[in-house]
Chain A
C-alpha cells in the first residue's frame, strides 16, 4: 500500500482555538474580531458557490457572528474553530436561502446547487483562454454530485484538512478521504478519455511537458 503524506490538522487552527477560548470565557472583542476577519473571505467564497446573491451571503455571515456574540455563554470550547464556523455558516445559509423562496423542487434545494465555477467570479474572456485540458476538467467536475464537488473544493481550493471537512459536512474522516480519492480518480480517467477522443494523447503531453518543464 502506498503511503501518502497527509496532515490531519492544520497548524493555523491552534491560534484560533486560543482566540475562541478568550472570546467565550471573557467576551474579548479583539479575539472575536480576529476570528471574524480571518474567516470572512472563506465563508464568502463558499457562499458564492451556492448562490450568486451577495446580499444573502453577507446576511448569513452576519447572522452567524451575531448568533455567536449573543449566545457566548452557551458556546462550548471547540478545537476546530474553522470547521465549526463553516458548519454553522452552511446551515445558516441554507436556512436563509430557503426563507427567500418558499417552494422547492427536490433538485432545487440549496444544498444541491453547488457550482464549482460560479459564473459571478468568472468573466467570459477567461473561459476562452482555458486550454483543452482545463475545459475537459470542468466538464468532468460537472459530472460529480454537488456534495462530491464541495468536498473537492474544500480540500483543494480552500486547503482544508480532512478533519475540518468531516466536521463541516458531518461525515467521517474516512468517508471524506474516500470521496476525495474516488472523485480525483474519476476526474483523471475522464479527462484522459476526453483528450484521447479529441486528439492524440501524446501530442497533448508533449505540449504539457513543454509548458511545465521549460
Chain B
C-alpha cells in the first residue's frame, strides 16, 4: 500500500477507497491494519475519523433468516419442479411423495448439521485454560494440562477433573449444544453421555449435544481428537469436520482437522467407519478398514485412502508422544508449536530433511529442539518469545 498516495486524500476519497473499506472492516491490507494506517497518516486523522463515522453510519442492522426457514422454502421450490414433471402420471404419485419426503428429511438433516457448525463458529478460544461452554453460553474454565470432563447418562450433571460437579438444566435432546475448547498447550478428555470417550488435542474444539437425539449421535470437530465410540447399532455416530463426515457404529479412530492446515485426515484403529465429503450429502462415501488413513485435501478437494503401518502411532499424543512419520521440519515444527503453544520460525534452507520416530512430549520444547539438532545439522536459538530454527 502506497501511504504517500493517501496524503492528498479528502474525507470522501477515503470513503470511496477500497483498501480503506477493508481496513474499516478490520481486515489488513499488505499487512497494514487500520491503527497502523492512522499512525502513518497523522496529518489525516481528522479526515480518517470522519470517514470511519460515515462508513459506519451507512451500515444497517441485519437479521438473517434462519437456515430452517430457508431450507423449508427451498424444499417448496424444488417440490414445484417435481410436480411439473410427474403430475400427469398418477400411478407414480406414491413415488413422488416418497421423493419429496426424502428431500425434506435430507434438508432437515442438512439444516441440523448447520446448527451445530454455527454453534462452533460462534465461539473462539479466549482463555489459557480448557473451557466448557454450556448451551446458555456460560463458560467454565477448567485448569490442568490434561482436563477431564464426564457427563452422566442424562446429560445434565457433569463432573470436572474428578473433583467438582456441575448441574445444567435438563437438556432438550439434540436441540442444544455444549462445547469444549482446548487452547494450544493443553488437552482434554471427555466422556459423553452415551459412554463414548473423546481425547481432545491442543488447539481444538468439539461441539456436541449433552444428550443425543433419538435418531443419531453427531459431534462437530475442529482440530484433532481421538474417539472411542460406545457401540449402539441403532444410532450411528457422526463426526463432522468442515470438510468431511465420518460415520461409525462403534469403534476407535483419530480425526485431524485443523483449520490452518490444508489436509484433514482420519485414521482407523478398530472396527469400521464410513467417510464422505460434506458437499456429497447423498453419496455412499468410502469405507475405511483398520490401519487405513483417509486424507482430505482442501486445495485439491479430494479424498484419498492410504494404508498406514501402525495406526497406534497416530494416537500416541493421548499418552504424550508425538509420532513423526516422514515429516519435514516445517510441518514438524508446526505440530510442536501447537502442542506447547510456542512460536517456532523455520529459517533453515535445507527443508527437504525428513524425520521419523517418536517424540516424548512431556519434556519441555527446548529438549525436543535439542534432540532435533543432535540428529540433524539444524540449530536453534531463542529470539524473544519464539524459537528460530536455522542451518
Q: Chain A interface (Cβ within 8 Å of chain B)?
A: 2-7, 29-30, 33, 36-37, 40-41, 44-45, 58, 61-62, 65-66, 69-70, 116-118, 121-122, 126, 133-134, 137-138, 141, 152-153, 156-157, 159, 180-181, 184-185, 187-188, 191, 205, 208-209, 211-213
Contacts and interface: CB of A to CB of B under 8 A. Distances in A.
Nearest to A6: B18
B69 to A, nearest CB: 8
B65 interface: yes
A4 B12 contact: no
Given A33-B74, A70-B84, A5 B17 contact: yes
Contact of A134 (B21, B50, B53, B84): B53
Given A2-B13, A156-B59, A205-B46, A29 B78 contact: yes
Given A2-B13, A133-B53, A184-B15, A209 B59 contact: no
Main secondary structure, interface of A, reads helix
Contact count band on B: 35 or more
B28 interface: no
Contact of A205 (B49, B58, B63, B73): B49
A181 B12 CA distance: 8
Contacts of A65: 74, 77
Contacts of B21: 156, 159
Contacts of A4: 13, 16-18
Contacts, number: 116
Contact of B12 (A6, A30, A188, A213): A188
A29 B45 CA distance: 51
Going nearest first, the 3 A-B pairs with the smallest beta carbon separation are A137-B57, A156-B58, A212-B49
B340 to A, nearest CB: 36
26 contacts: A4-B17, A4-B18, A5-B18, A29-B78, A36-B74, A37-B67, A41-B65, A58-B73, A61-B73, A62-B77, A65-B74, A69-B78, A121-B60, A126-B61, A153-B60, A156-B58, A156-B59, A157-B60, A187-B54, A188-B11, A188-B54, A191-B54, A208-B49, A208-B50, A212-B38, A212-B48
B49 A70 contact: no
Nearest to B281: A30
Main secondary structure, interface of B, reads helix
B77 A152 contact: no
A134 B57 CA distance: 6
Nearest to A33: B74
A44 to B, nearest CB: 6
A2 B70 CA distance: 44
A69 B16 contact: no
A180 B13 CA distance: 11
B5 interface: yes
B57 A133 contact: yes
A110 to B, nearest CB: 19
B103 to A, nearest CB: 9
B50 A45 contact: no
B100 to A, nearest CB: 13
A37 B68 CA distance: 11
Contacts of B11: 188
Nearest to A207: B49
Interface string B219-230: 000000000000
A29 B67 CA distance: 17
Nearest to A152: B58
Contact of A208 (B17, B53, B74): B53
B350 interface: no
Given A2-B13, A133-B53, A213-B45, A69 B77 contact: yes
B49 A121 contact: no
B53 A70 contact: no
B19 interface: yes
B34 to A, nearest CB: 9
A5 B84 CA distance: 49
